[in-house]
Structure 1
C-alpha cells in the first residue's frame, strides 16, 4: 500500500506542550473513499491514490504524523464551558504546501479522545459530506475557509436517532487556534501558556505584529480585521453559520465548522437555520454583533498580555472594542459596493446598500437571484421586480441605484454576484442520496457550487414551496 507522503513539521505539538494530549485515531474497519479532493491535494504537494482511504480514515498513520487532540474552552450560545477540546478530532500534523503556507491536516469523526465528554467520537456520512460541500462552495466564492481533503466511509454504523453509515473527514486548515484556545488558559490563570500561545499565533499567522510596540494589541487588531472581512463576506453571500461560538472562531480568519449552517434564500434579517437557536442568537443580521461579542471574549483572555496593570489593560481592551463596529461596517460596505456594481466611494453608498435591504425585507425576494439579476436590471426593471411581493419600494430604489452606476456595471455585477449557491433543498437531496449509497447527486452539486458564477439553471432556483422551513442540526 502506498500511503500519501505528507511532509510533516508539527510546530504546535513541539512549541506548545501542555496545550494538547497525544492520542491516536481509532482505526476504521473498512475504509472506502467517498470523495477525494485532488485539487487540494495538489496544493499540499500530496498524491492521492485509491489506497489513500486508509490513512485518511485513521486506519494507517503516515510517516511523521504525531496525532494529538487540542485543548480549548469556549462560550456556547453565551454559556462558558471551561473545557471542550477536540472530542472527535485528531490533528495529525502540519505541512508546508506548494505556496509556502503552513496548514493543519486533521481527521474529524476519527474516534474518542480524552475530551469526548461521553460522545462516541464518530461522525456520519451526511454531515461529513456536508462540510466538504459547503467548504468547497465557500472557497469557490472567495471566502476564507477550512477545506476538506477527503471524506472516507468507515464501514461501520454510528447511532444517532437511527443507525447511519459512518465517515471521517480530513480537514485542512490554516490552523485550529481558536478564541476558545486562549480562553482555556486564561480561565486557568496560566499566563505563561497564554503568552506562548499568543507568540505562536503571531509567528504563524501575523508575523508583522512581532515588531509592534505591543505585539498582543497588534495581534488583536489583526484578528479583528481578519474576522471583520470574513463576516462581511458571509453577509454578502447570505451565509448563516449557525454556531458562532467562541470555539468556532479561528484566529486565522477562516470559516470553521459547518454544522447547522446554510445559505439564506428569501431575504429576512432574522433568518435562523439551527434547530437549537431558539432565540435567534446567531440569526443572519446578528452575525456582526456576535463578531463583536466574540472578540470581546478574546480581549478578556488577552488582558494579562495587554498590560501588567489590570486597570490599564482594561482601558486598552475597551479602546480596541470600540473600533470593531466601524471596522466591520467598512468591510461590509466594500462588499456591498462590489455587489451593487459601484466604482469608487461616495457618501450615499451606505444609504443605497441599506435601502436595498429595506426594499427586500419581508418581500420574499431571493438573496442570490436578486443580486444576480441586477446585471440585467441595469436596463430592465422587469429582470428583478417579479422576485418581490410588493415591487414599489424596489422600483424606487432601482432609480436611485442607476443614477450611481457608471459604464461597465453589468460586467462588474456578473463578476461579483454568484449564480449558484448550495441551495438547501439540493444539499439535503444530495446528502440523502449519498447516505443511501448514491454519490452522483453529490458530485453534480459539487461541480455546480465550485463554479458559482457559471449559470446552471437546474441549480439556480430556490426551493419549491413544498420544501417548507429549513432546519439544520449540529451533526458535524
Structure 2
C-alpha cells in the first residue's frame, strides 16, 4: 500500500544517496516472490538492475520505476521521555510494489537525519536481515527483509566500519509516532487522514462501526498485545521499545539492539545502553501497554469529534484497560501450548510461573529446555528426567515435573501427537547473539557464507536439521556477554 499522505508537513521527497561499488551480501527469495521479482538460477534477481536499485543507486529496473521516494516525519517518546520530532533518519520509502511498501534502510541522509549520516553499517544490517526473516519463520508478525547490499564505503560509529543497505518490506511502516507527531501539533486534519488511511486499507471492520476511531485504537492495541506475548514466548527482547518504534499494524519493526534469551533471566537486558533496564524482558508487556497509552493520548482529538472531552477520555481509558487482559489471555494460551497442554485448567498458570521461576533461579537455557519438554511422556519418572540436572534446587524441580506429568495425564492426546504439536511451537533454532557475531566477523572479511548458512537454518526453526545441530547449542562462556547497543 503506498503511503498516500502528501505535503511537506508529512514527508519529504528523498532520493537515495548512491552506494559505491555495491555487492550482494544476502537475499531472501521468499520475499522476492512476495513482491513479484523474477529470480534467476542463483536465487538472485534475474534482472541485475535490482542490485543498483536496492543499493540506492538508481530508481528504475525493467518496467518498475520508483518515481517518488520519500522519508516521513514522526515524533515519539524515547526511554519514557518526549523526544519531539523524529522521522525517517535513514529510511527511504521507495514506493509500493505488489501492494507492499519497499523501504531502504541506510541509503543516505534524509530531511530527518539530524546529525546522522543516514547510513547503516554491515554489522547491524546483518542482524536486521537475519532476525526479520527468522521472526517470520517463527510465525511472529514482522517487517520482512528482501536483501542486504554491502559496500566498502567507510562509516564511523564507535570504530570505522563499512556501509550496507537493508531493503525492508511491509504492508505499511506507519508507527505510533506518526499519530503522536500530528497530535503534538494539534493537527486534527492530518490525524484524521492518517486514521482513515489505516482503516480503509488495514482495518476495514473498524470503518463500518460506530465510534470507528475508538475501534481502531482497540484493534491496534490488541495486535500489539498479542505481538508482545509472542515475543515473550520465544524469549525475544526488542531492546528499544520507544513509541516511535511501534507499528500501527502490530508488526515487529526496527531491529536494533535486540536479543534472544540464552539462559533464562526474567530481568534480562539486551541493550547495554538501557542502563535502567526499562526495556528488560519482563518489562516488555508493561512498556507496550505504556506505548498504547501514548497512542490513546494521540487519538483523543479524534474521539472528541463525536464525544465530549470527558466521555472521550473515559472511552479510551476503558479501552486501554483491555490491553493487559488481551495480553494475559494470549500469553497463557501460548505457554500452555509450549507445555503441550491442549485444554485449560485453573492451576496451569501457577504451573507455568513455577517453572519460569525455577528456570530463572538456575539460569536454564530458555529455548533448549522448552524444546526438550516434548520428550517427556505421561509415564515418565521425575527422578529419571535428564533435564532435572540443569536445576540447582532438585527437590523443587522434581516436584514440578511430578505435577507436570500428572497434568499431562489429564490430556487425551497421545505422547507422540503432543510431541509433534510441541515441536511446532518450541523452536530448536533462534538467532543467538554468538551465532550472529560469527557471521558478522566473517562478513567483515568478505566471507558471507555464514550469513547464508544462518539464513537457511533460521528459515526452518522448528525442524531438527541434524546437520546443523551445533547451531542449537547455547554459547560458550566467553560468548555469553556479547554487548549490543543502539549504534548501527
* TM-score bracket for the superposition, by shorter chain length: over 0.9
1:431 and 1:458 map into 2 onto residues whose CA distance is 18
1:392 aligned to 2:395?
Answer: yes
* CA drift at 1:138: 0.6
Whether the 8 Å CA contact 2:213–2:302 is kept in 1: the answer is yes
Aligned partners of 1:40, 1:16: CA distance in 2, in Å?
Answer: 31
Q: Where do 4+ consecutive residues of structure 1 move more than 4 Å?
A: 14-17
Deviations 1:81-126 (A, max 9, x none): 2210001110011223xxxxx3210000000011011111111111
* Alignment partners' CA distance in 1, 2:363 and 2:5: 53
Instruction: Indicate the residue corresponding to 1:61 in structure 2.
Output: 59
Q: What pairs up with 1:357-372 in 2 under 5 angstroms?
A: 357-372=356-371
Instruction: Tell me the distance in 1 between the aligned counterparts of 2:270 and 2:277.
Output: 9
Matched, 1:195 2:192: yes
- Rounded Cα–Cα distance in structure 2 between residues aligned with 1:21 and 1:258: 24
Corresponding residue number in structure 2 for 1:440: 449
Q: Which residue of 2 aligns with 1:311?
A: 310
Are 2:122 and 2:161, in contact at CA under 8 Å, matched by a contact in 1? yes
1:329: how far off? 0.2
Match of 2:15 in 1: 24
Q: Does the residue aligned with 1:197 lie in a helix, a strand or coil?
A: helix
Q: Which residue of 1 aligns with 2:463?
A: 454
* Equivalent position to 1:152, from 149, 153, 159: 149
**Partners of 1:386 and 1:432 in 2: CA distance:** 35
Describe the superposition over 1:14-61 as per-residue Cα deviations: whole angstroms up to 9, x where unpaired. Answer: 567731111111011211111121221012111223442100011010
Partner residue in 2 for 1:88: 90
Q: Distance in 2 between matches of 1:192 and 1:74?
A: 19
| Aligned residue pairs, count | 462
Where does 1:209-358 land on structure 2 (aligned, <5 Å)?
A: 209-308=206-305, 309-358=308-357
Aligned-pair distance for 1:413?
Answer: 1.7
Q: How many angstroms does 1:261 deviate by?
A: 0.3
Task: Indicate whether 1:110 and 2:112 are aligned.
Answer: no
Local SS of the residue matching 1:177: coil
Deviation, structure 1 residue 380: 5.8
CA distance in 2, matches of 1:436, 1:299: 48
Is the contact made by 2:225 and 2:289 (CA closer than 8 Å) also made in structure 1? no
Contact 1:140 1:451 in 2 (8 A): yes
Aligned to 2:418: 409
Name structure 2 gaps, 5 residues minimum: 39-44
CA distance in 2, matches of 1:92, 1:270: 39
Which moves more between the two structures, 330-339 or 308-317?
308-317
Residues 434 and 480 in structure 2, CA contact (< 8 A), matched pair in contact too:
no
Match of residue 134 from structure 1? 131
Q: What do the CA deviations read for 1:135-178 (whole angstroms, capped 9, x no partner)?
A: 11111100011111111113411111222111111010121110
The normalised TM-score by structure 2 is 0.92
Is the contact made by 2:19 and 2:56 (CA closer than 8 Å) also made in structure 1? yes
Question: Hey, what does 2:42 align to over in structure 1?
Answer: none
Summarize the Cα distance change of 1:380–1:433 in structure 2 as closer, same or farther, 3 Å threshold: farther
RMSD (Å), alpha carbons: 1.5
Q: What is the CA–CA distance in structure 2 between the aligned matches of 1:232 and 1:68, rounded to whole Å? A: 33
Q: 2:30 matched to which residue of 1?
A: 39
Distance 2:263 2:396 in 1: 16
> In the aligned structure 1, how far is the partner of 2:480 from the partner of 2:391?
19
Asked whether the 8 Å contact 2:157–2:487 carries over to 1, the reply is no
Aligned partner of residue 343 in structure 1, secondary structure: coil
Match of 1:362, SS state, is: helix
Query: Normalising by the residue count of structure 1, what TM-score does the alignment of the two structures yield?
Result: 0.94
Range with bigger deviation, 247-256 or 453-462: 453-462
Say which SS state the counterpart of residue 82 (structure 1) adopts. Answer: strand
Contact 2:240 2:279 survives alignment (8 Å): yes
**Is the 1:31–1:153 Cα contact (8 Å) retained in structure 2?**
yes
CA distance in 2, matches of 1:319, 1:17: 36
Q: Which residue of 1 aligns with 2:437?
A: 428
